[in-house]
Amino acid sequence: MAPEVPRGHSPSAPGEFEIIRDFFQRQSADADVLLGIGDDAALLQVSGSIAVATDTLVAGVHFLTGMSPARLAQRALAVNLSDMAAMGAQPRWFTLALTLPNADVDWLSAFSMSLHASAGEYQMTLVGGDLTRGPLTITLQLIGTVPAELALRRDGARSGDLVFVTGTVGDAAGGLRLLQQQVECDDRASANELVDRFECPTPRVSAGIALRGIASAAIDISDGLSADLARLCAASGCGARVDMAKLPISDALQACFGKDASIEMAMTGGDDYELLFTAAPAERERVITALSLLDVTAECIGECIAGNAVNIHNNGRYISDAKPGYTHF
């Protein structure tokens, strides 16, 4: 079917093919891209198994409409890279399905430059996509490689395994609240740090790869620690006990929101894109060592237990069962 071509209001606005050529088509140094942008499909050379993931960002749902195109590109790639990280996959290629209200050259230029720059940081190549007119929506599909037997799946956790989380949690939820102006924070440096964490999360790609053969299960935190832990547990057929006194909470979050609200956001706030993973107790040292080589911190926040409940404790005392995080429906 002929596509709806995004054309701006100006008569000189570029058409679909100019947009693809001028903003998205680039020479690739990747010898495994046998055929990139321009044909009906890309041809990629692979040996072994691939990991495939896709994520959509809709204006007003996944990002606030005022977000700059450069940050938007970075965020779109980061949330998708996070899925690769959570599988322990090496990201390689991606496609971009872009829906635009109009062909705004300045917007396209800023968006595409940032997208190519972020992709370059991870040695990723854009190999295809689609372009349509409509409300601003960005869908990326990522393809990565990982030996199937080493992939970090959600279903490998066993009762007795330790539960770890990388980095700090709750920051993105804090950043979102600041952006939505639900709260004021006089500490500008801390506030900016939290907003950055929401808009441009750091996908834990090398951490995921380093955890191959060490972690028993993994998931990335997109909907909130308790919700995503519940998913990992459901897939693995176990429960978990989390001690909220052990949650890694940043100084910035505490400075802006205080301790209690920080803990609440760390448990239930989404969009952190940290890795939540499990490992047998005997692997504790290997976990810490493998990640510290990458300058990534990991905190042991609890353990897997028999049953299917996710229990929250505070310094060993039972508080409640976990509340669900964000869902769209």
131 belongs to the binding site for ligand ADP (CB under 6 A): yes
**Minimum gap (Å) between residue 104 Cβ and Mg ion:** 21
- Residue 128 makes contact with ligand ADP by CB under 6 A: yes
How big is the site for Mg ion, counted in residues (CB under 5 A)? 1
Q: Please pick, from the candidates 18, 130, 155, 321, the single residue that binds Mg ion as defined by CB under 5 A.
A: 130
Give the Cα separation of 81 and 95 in Å (integer).
13
Residue 180's φ and ψ, nearest 5 degrees, are: -80, 0
The answer for residues whose C-beta is within 8 angstroms of residue 258's C-beta and 6 or more apart is none
Min CB(26)–Mg ion separation in Å: 18
Nearer to ligand ADP, 37 or 57 (CB): 37
Separation of alpha carbons 214 and 229, rounded Å: 18
Contacts of 251 (CB under 8 A, 6+ apart): 190
Say if residues 201 and 80 touch (Cβ distance below 8 Å).
Answer: no
Pairing of strands 298-305, 162-166: antiparallel
Dihedral class, residue 270 (left if φ above 0, else alpha if ψ from -120 to 50, else beta):
beta
Could you tell which of Mg ion, ligand ADP, none binds residue 129, using a CB distance below 5 to 8 A set by kind?
Answer: ligand ADP
Q: Which does 251 bind (CB under 5 to 8 A by kind): ligand ADP, Mg ion, none?
A: none
> Number of residues in contact with ligand ADP, rule: CB under 6 A?
14
Smallest distance from the beta carbon of 125 to ligand ADP, in angstroms? 11
The set of residues, in sequence order, having a beta carbon less than 8 Å from that of 308 and lying 6+ positions away, is 233, 234, 237, 238, 239
Which window, 69-77, 126-134, 250-258, 267-275, contacts ligand ADP (CB under 6 A)? 126-134
CA separation for the pair 304, 160 (Å, rounded): 5
User: For ligand ADP, which residue of 103, 126, 217, 256 counts as binding (CB under 6 A)?
Assistant: 126
Return the residue of 4, 18, 121, 130 that touches ligand ADP, per CB under 6 A.
130
Q: What is the CA radius of gyration of the chain?
A: 21
Convert residues 20-39 into a mask of x (bound to ligand ADP by CB under 6 A) and - (unbound). Answer: x---x------------xxx
**Interaction residues for Mg ion, span 36-75 (CB under 5 A):** none
Compute the distance between CA of residue 187 and CA of residue 256 in angstroms, rounded to an integer.
7
Task: Tell me how crowded residue 163 is: count the other CB atoms within 10 A of its CB.
Answer: 27
Q: How far is the CB of 300 from Mg ion (least distance, A)?
A: 47
Nearer to Mg ion, 41 or 282 (CB): 41
The footprint of Mg ion (CB under 5 A) covers 130
Q: Name the site residues for ligand ADP (rule: CB under 6 A).
A: 3, 20, 24, 37-40, 96, 98, 126, 128-131
